[in-house]
Chains A and B, each alone.
Chain A
Amino acid sequence: MSNLTAAAAAEKIGNPALNLAIFAVFVVVTMALVLRASRTNKSAAELYTAGAAFSGRQNGVAISGDYLSAASFLGIAGAIALTGYDGFLYSIGFLVAWLVALLLVAEPPRNTGRFTMADVLAFRMQERPVRTAAATSTLAVSFFYLLAQMAGAGGLVALLLGITNRTGQSLVIAVVGLLMIAYVLIGGMKGTTYVQIIKAALLIAGAALMTVWVLGKFGVNFSDLLGKGAEAGAPLEPGKKYGISGTSKLDFISLSMALVLGTAGLPHILMRFYTVPTAQEARRSVAWAIWLIGLFYLFTLTLGYGAAALVGAERINAAPGKANSAAPLLAYELGGTLLLGVISAIAFATILAVVAGLTITASASFAHDIYASVIHRGQAPEGSEVRVARIAALVVGAVAILGGIAANGQNIAFLVALAFAVAASANLPTILYSLLWKRFNTRGCLWSIYGGLLITITLIAFSPAVSGDKNAMFPHSDWAFFPLANPGIISIPASFLLGYLGTVTSKEHLETKYAEMEVRSLTGAGASRTALEH
């Protein structure tokens, strides 16, 4: 019903056939590359980490491709267009977060692990319980992140292909999911990385083009652009979204914590550090990613205010994807049908590439951590781990398609914030403790991961984001007792505390093993064993 009214209100823009054709060109070109890349795709190391053969620069571009998801591009541009300064706050948290990753988290995993986050966490702990816990939180984060991306695909389809009925949208979500599965199964990490690199280059170039274009329309006067944006309802002061009440301000602080501490705990980002040969290259790749991501977020500032000034809140809100359609509508306003087609193809490619990266991470975590290490205790039959990883990718893909269809229309930014909250609460404390605190042990690790995960999900389930609010997932029921939509302010400190308490109440001492971890992570000694493996 709401879809019908939205369709009636929405103007007809662009040419669906052209949008589809440009996207098809992207798929054909990348698929050809993926097919070429897939010739060496036999071992687990090839499948998960492309044999650690990428350079720091290549990986840096791929990281930015992984990170600049639909939520970043469509979500932030839309948030700035509709709420002004408060949308900009998102991008700052997303960027500053990379300092935690660069300074603390990027290099040690390359020297101490091989494939997954659990490699690092289980390094000196009791392997099976810790791997199970790390795989659980990896799968949880990947699931929420996948949902966000696939849900975004639905709204985008509505806008770009003029498909407004739910069945048609579901069909397109399924096609996107199947394409993604094909990339992952055929290309493995190498193919997926090439897709990320191409997509990141296109995305940044597209945003740069639009930024220059928008600035040109305002006589290269940034202040003038801001002024016009502000007149159109995108204020230059903070507060439109988060400044309404004491609760909303606290909610914003809580969100900021999850954003800035979540990035370094995202399993699909951690896994990218394994695709380069050395810790130095891992460091370089993060530096490249920071430059590119920072640059991109500066562009979104212009795009957001540009969309407010040139398209206007009314038209954005009337479009099927609402806030998410601000950037595509701006493209149409600037360059007409062709630019809209290009920008929409890039947005589709973005969703496709991010979903593929997440799927590799989730399937690697299942096959490597659960199947090979926990079930077979590292003695899995030859070749079976790769087979299990491929089956897991199929299952993850199916879950992503079904979840995406179910979550179609949900708020993307909220779902992504949820993934960040889980990553910041369940993953980051254990990663930091295990790298920096020699006393840390198995119980601390388990309490922190499971505790962080449980607290985060419980608080969200009983938050106004799920029930008891007109914008909630279940607007007509009310079981909320936690006032904030973002749980980070409680769940992150709680998880750090649980990690501490679990550790000191356990008699397990792993200081000798920590010596190995510390020497290896700081010097790279012994890491050649892992690099020689293929």
Chain B
Amino acid sequence: MSSIDDEGGRGPTTPSEAHYVAVQQTPEFQDLRRRYRGWVLPVVAASLLWYFLYVVLAAYAHDFMSQKVLANINVGLIMGLLQFVTTFLVTALYIRHAERVLDPASSRIREEMEGRGLR
């Protein structure tokens, strides 16, 4: 660890805590933070609620889950496969959100810091 910090001292400046606090206070960073948390926290919460709804149904609603829908395909199987679908969907949506919204915003902030010699 120490050798890296030494290198940092000779080249560009290693950002100090004060630098980070200053960046954290900027509207740009606050915006990035909101766009990150405002997306992931509700989505994680919803995904877990959806999962536990499924788990509780599987444990306590046998009659509901056993209803046949199409030949031998029953509600339980469809509910289970829907968990796969939602997992894939959330993955794709998050990658899109991150690449379209989060990455450009975070690179701007990082490049702005590096532009000031902080790296």
Residues of A participating in the B interface, judged by any CB pair closer than 8 Å: 85, 88-89, 92-93, 95-96, 98-100, 102-104, 222-224, 226-227, 230, 236-239, 242-243, 249, 252-253, 256, 260, 280, 283-284, 286-287, 290-291, 294, 297-298, 378-379, 436, 512-513, 515-516, 518-520, 522-526, 528-530, 532-533
Contacts and interface: CB of A to CB of B under 8 A. Distances in A.
Given A95-B83, A227-B72, 4 more contacts: A96-B47, A226-B73, A294-B88, A436-B37
Nearest to A261: B48
B14 to A, nearest CB: 7
Contacts of B101: none
Interface of A is mostly: helix
30 contacts: A85-B76, A92-B51, A92-B83, A93-B51, A98-B91, A99-B47, A103-B43, A104-B44, A223-B71, A224-B71, A230-B72, A236-B74, A237-B65, A243-B59, A253-B55, A284-B95, A294-B84, A513-B17, A515-B17, A515-B23, A516-B15, A519-B23, A519-B109, A522-B36, A523-B32, A524-B110, A526-B14, A526-B119, A528-B114, A529-B119
Contacts of A520: 20
A298 B72 contact: no
Interface of B is mostly: helix
Contact of A252 (B40, B55, B72): B55
A96 B76 contact: no
Contact of A89 (B2, B58, B91, B103): B58
Contact of B1 (A230, A252, A378): A378
A102 B92 CA distance: 11
Nearest to B95: A287
Contact of B106 (A95, A227, A260, A523): A523
Contacts of A236: 66, 72, 74, 76-77
Contacts of B107: 523
A49 B40 CA distance: 27
Nearest to A107: B98
A513 B82 CA distance: 42
Interface string B7-47: 11000001101001101100001001100110010011001
Interface string B92-119: 1011001100110011011001100011
Given A103-B94, A237-B76, A529 B87 contact: no
Contacts of B37: 436
A284 B29 CA distance: 23
A242 to B, nearest CB: 6
A294 B77 CA distance: 15
A387 B84 CA distance: 44
A292 to B, nearest CB: 11
A480 B103 CA distance: 52
B38 to A, nearest CB: 12
Contacts of B109: 519, 523, 525
Contacts of A519: 20, 23-24, 29, 109
A102 B91 contact: yes
Please name the 9 residue pairs, one residue from A and one from B, whose CB atoms are nearest each other, closest first: A223-B71, A516-B20, A237-B66, A515-B24, A226-B72, A103-B40, A238-B58, A523-B106, A223-B72
